[in-house]
Structure 1
């Protein structure tokens, strides 16, 4: 009886392994058995290095997803502005780097939505300038991550509102990483930093309270998605299936709680794609 149980356990294990391997073989990846992931590892708490090892929400999530697919995850550290270009150029299978869903990007790549966040305005601690909304940024120098989704919003606001009303243009200063944008703020090369809300909280801790968030609510809530090459429906479906699995077993919600993030609703996702 015991031998029968052991044999059944071995048989079941073998069948599972075969199923995983078959699933992995069906998924088109750049390297056999490997899921190559593009991430900008300068954006804590989403993506960063911890003792030279990729860490953060995206690294944890992709490790779980890759395991479910029977693939080995490999994260390529790439600056944010080059992620979409790299995906289109077949340098990665997927981008997992807190990539906001925008109508413009949706024309270039396909998405698997998985998070909701938003922006915050941050200044030097004790600064007399305490902006609460984007309308307070007229005539100011704003530090930002290069290629961030809110840059076009600030440019439009500047040309359509700030300049015509005589309040002065918004000087958007784009940097290769969020820490570099924060350094510009710390050195007073910028008046304010427009940053993702979760990242802003992390930067405040890293600078030991030298910075503070002045906006009262999340600015322009946004949906984040995993990026895949346009038309790669097989990989997108596989990622979606694994994400659903993590939601069902509770691992996804546990991660959201740990990182103080939210799951996007269907309405949130629809609004992200439409730009409304």
Structure 2
């Protein structure tokens, strides 16, 4: 999945040291990070607080991965900080806790653990989704961790490290009153997506081809600047369906107090998702090594389970995996 301009960027810096992690990593609830002041808007009403945390003992005990550290590019190693761009409005991957300040979620916990294994402090910068990849090229961030779908077009711009599997699903009002699915039932229908996402640039055009072939009107697309706006558009009637990453959609539905459900039907565009790094920087290889350690010792799996993403777990942190 995916999501424009830096005038929407919301900066929230979180610095996490390896020492602090060794003392306080109760993982999966974000409690190991401390947030600086933030002017970020409230998260969607569909986003609940973090699930109860139960971190694996290995997460605190494993310590620094010397082999992964040896792969860190000189500039990052010298300043000791990994600066990560993340849209902190996309539960359960990254969103704000009930204090409306502290970032929590699967992406936050994985990035925190990865930085710990690399012996780096973690700084998370809350950013508009579709500003993250361009900001890697300008060296504003050293990584982007925000549930990016791996696509050939993006691989021309950045290096990927695979860390989850997912696809697209449709979020609708409970009962699915218009009997919608991710097919030609969307022709002429008000459909909300995040601006710059694969839902906007891949899924919508693919369905529109089928609409054209069937002699039907194209989808009426509502492209929104932030993922937190999607359930609000559905609830208000601005959209009849929202196309989202399957993990995000399931989380919103489960925490909507019965307001939303996932439309029936298979996922579209199923495949790997990855962290992103500046092309050719060498940071992807270091991140891959650290993440593979988290996978092998069970830390990564425990985080995925805690955030309800068990079905999207991967076994290999591949650099630049091809989407098959």
Name the TM-score, length of structure 1 as normaliser: 0.83
Aligned match of 1:12: none
1:5-44 alignment runs, 5 A limit: 23=70, 27-29=74-76, 32-44=79-91
Deviation at 1:130, TM superposition (A): 2.1
- Structure 1 unaligned regions, length at least 5: 1-15
Aligned match of 2:300: 252
Deviation at 1:263, TM superposition (A): 2.9
Aligned match of 1:238: 286
Whole-angstrom distance in 1 between the partners of 2:301 and 2:207: 39
Cα deviation, 1:89-142, whole Å, max 9, x if unaligned, reads 211000001111111111111101111011211111234212233332111111
1:113-124 alignment runs, 5 A limit: 113-124=162-173
Matched, 1:263 2:263: no
Whole-angstrom distance in 2 between the partners of 1:103 and 1:146: 19
- Structure 2 unaligned regions, length at least 5: 1-62
Name the structure where helix makes up a greater proportion of residues. Answer: 1
Matched, 1:186 2:235: yes
Whole-angstrom distance in 2 between the partners of 1:219 and 1:151: 13
Deviation at 1:269, TM superposition (A): 9.1
Deviation at 1:190, TM superposition (A): 1.0
Name the TM-score, length of structure 2 as normaliser: 0.72
Aligned match of 1:163: 212
Q: Is the 8 A contact 2:203 2:269 kept in 1?
A: no
Q: Is the 8 A contact 2:160 2:319 kept in 1?
A: no
1:55-74 alignment runs, 5 A limit: 55-74=104-123
Matched, 1:95 2:144: yes
Whole-angstrom distance in 2 between the partners of 1:229 and 1:150: 23
Deviation at 1:149, TM superposition (A): 0.8
Whole-angstrom distance in 1 between the partners of 2:210 and 2:223: 21
1:69-218 alignment runs, 5 A limit: 69-157=118-206, 159-218=208-267
Over aligned residue pairs, what C-alpha RMSD do you find?
2.7
Deviation at 1:252, TM superposition (A): 1.3
